[in-house]
Amino acid sequence: MATITKRGNNFRIKVSCGYDENYKQIIKSTTFRPPAGVSPKKAEKLAQEFAFEFERKCKDYTELHETMKFSELADWYFENFAPIELKESTAYTYLGQYNKHLKPVLGNMKLKEITTPKLTRIMQSYDLNPATIRKLYVVLQSIFHRAVEQGFIRESPCHNVILPKNKNKKKVVSLDEDGIQRFMHLLNTKPWDEDFKRIIKVLIYTGFRSGECLGLMWEDIDFDAMTITVNHNLTDIGGRHELGTPKTESSQRTIGMSDVLASIFKEQKNYIEQLSKSLGDEFAHPEMVFTSANGNYRDRCSVYHSLKRFIKGTEFENLTLHQLRHCNATLLLNSGVDLKIVSEHLGHCDIGVTANIYADVLKSTKVKVANLVTLKLEENTTENE
């Protein structure tokens, strides 16, 4: 029950809200000033009514920690939530983004000071790519969402924050069909490490993300059923490799395997068996399809740098590993494969994601379809004449 103490013409009201984690009693207090001209008895009655309402509000806010600093909330999040609920690689990325961009700006602010308009101003003030700012916003949303769940705050200030738009949004850069054919010719004829070449070919033939490709295990490849299943994703966490689950639930998928692709995997299997035999017990991961020269997990950065050395001085100098995935999608869409099937093949979470990324490819495909219809109609007209 609230404690009311009369001090002159005013009333000091205190409410006990339990104890904090250090067993220190939490006291909330306020002062009630009666309206001028009321009688002492009326003033006391008004003070009691005010105390009752103040206590109700205090009790309702017992678990709130609105005076907590954002850095304290973030520390709690990364200590208690992230290790349990997030993938290790995701938690590592979130922590890096928080330390680099969010902590310097928001760290010393109290939670009650962080409002939607203030977050809008902060998000707009970053001199970063809008896509990067959206990633920071995802981290913020996750932290504040857990704060609401735990009763630290009543509602998240992340609702309706206005983020900067990417006015110069880059289009997906991919080789056209002729370019892909020229690149494949280069891949087949230029003398280079065959193990590296097989990785590049698998990326083109499957459309896998590089982490999915380097996370393939021999048990994922069924030569009888002619299928490949994506069960793992290889990530780099601060220089340490981690074999985890795919990026999303839809990323865990099974695709068909052509005879050409099967022969590539069989060549790789022979290579791994010979390498494993030569290294003996020092070969760490014989279960993996692609490994380093000493049998450890294959580093994505090493594959990227190998690609850059391979294409240096050619027309493909700007090609990246991820663009090989786009090459696969371009070939499928230009061949008339249904968008939904392409989306599932790539492991996208939603068909809309595929349509948005490959809007230009789809546009050119629609033109081809229209031309095919016109050509067919003209053929029929000519035959009738």
Sheet holding 221-222, edge to edge: 221-222, 227-229, 254-256
Residues 181, 317 within the same domain: yes
Distinct helix (H) and strand (E) counts, the chain? 16, 8
Report pLDDT digits (tens) over 247-276.
Answer: 788 889 999 999 999 999 999 999 999 999
Q: Return the pLDDT at 233.
A: 94
Supply the range of the domain harboring residue 20. 3-60
Where a domain ends, among 60, 78, 102?
60
User: E strands within 119-171?
Assistant: none
| Claim to verify: residue 301 and residue 185 sit in the same structural domain | yes
Last residue of a domain, one of 303, 321, 339: 321
The answer to the question of residue 370 being in a domain is no
**Co-location of 56 and 83 in the same domain:** no
Let me know whether 265 and 293 are in one domain. yes
The answer on 313 and 220 residing in a single domain is: yes
Distance CA 13, CA 55 (A): 9
Q: Select the more confidently predicted residue: 230 or 7.
A: 230
DSSP result, 295-333 = SSBPPHHHHHHHHHHHHTTSTTTT--HHHHHHHHHHHHH
CATH of the domain at 302: 1.10.443.10
Helix 339-346 vs helix 321-334: angle between axes, to the nearest 10 degrees? 160
Q: Is the pLDDT reported for residue 301 higher than 50?
A: yes
pLDDT band at residue 246 using 50, 70 and 90 as cut-offs: confident
Please say which residue of 131, 149, 167 terminates a domain: 149
The arithmetic mean of pLDDT across residues 27-48, rounded, is 89
Provide the 8-state DSSP code for 365: H
Give the residues across from 4 on adjacent strands. 13
Whether residue 135 is found in the same domain as residue 205? no
Q: What is the band of 62 on the pLDDT scale with cuts at 50, 70, 90?
A: very low
Does 290 lie in the same domain as 216? yes
Q: Interior CA angle at 312 toward 311 and 313, to 5°?
A: 110
Amino acid letter, residue 307: L
Residue position matching structure tokens 């003996």: 280
- What is the residue whose two structure tokens read 């999608």? 329
Task: Looking at the structure, tell me whether residues 141 and 195 fall in a common domain.
Answer: no
Span 297-305, average pLDDT: 94
* Angle at 172 (CA atoms; ends 227, 140), nearest 5 degrees: 90
Residue 55 lies in a domain: yes
Q: What is the pLDDT of residue 375?
A: 61
Q: What is the pTM of this model?
A: 0.68
Cβ neighbours of residue 252 closer than 8 Å, sequence gap 6 or more: 229, 230, 231, 245, 246, 347
75 and 45 in one domain? no
> What's the pLDDT at 362?
62
Q: What is the mean pLDDT of residues 319-332?
A: 90
Residue 128 belongs to some domain of the structure: yes
Instruction: Give tens-digit pLDDT for 145-200.
Output: 998 888 788 789 998 999 998 765 555 557 888 999 999 999 999 999 999 999 99
- pLDDT tier at 67, thresholds 50, 70, 90: confident
Give the C-alpha separation, 307 to 284, whole Å: 25
Residue 69: per-residue pLDDT: 92
Cα 377 from Cα 254, distance rounded (Å): 39
pLDDT tens-digit profile of 77-117?
999 999 988 988 899 999 999 999 999 999 999 998 999 99
Tell me whether residue 65 is in a domain: no
Q: What is the mean pLDDT of the chain?
A: 87
Same-domain check for residues 56 and 77: no
Whether 372 has a pLDDT exceeding 60, the answer reads no
Res 24: pLDDT: 73
Per-residue DSSP letter, 157: T
Find the mean pLDDT for residues 347-367. Answer: 71
What's phi and psi for 243, nearest 5 deg?
-95, 105
CA distance 133 to 326: 24
Question: Are 39 and 16 in a shared domain?
Answer: yes
Q: Which of residues 141 and 357 earns the better pLDDT score?
A: 141
Helix (H) or strand (E) holding 118: helix 116-125
CATH value at residue 79:
1.10.150
> Per-residue pLDDT for 9 more than 50?
yes
- What band does 382 get if pLDDT is binned at 50, 70 and 90? low
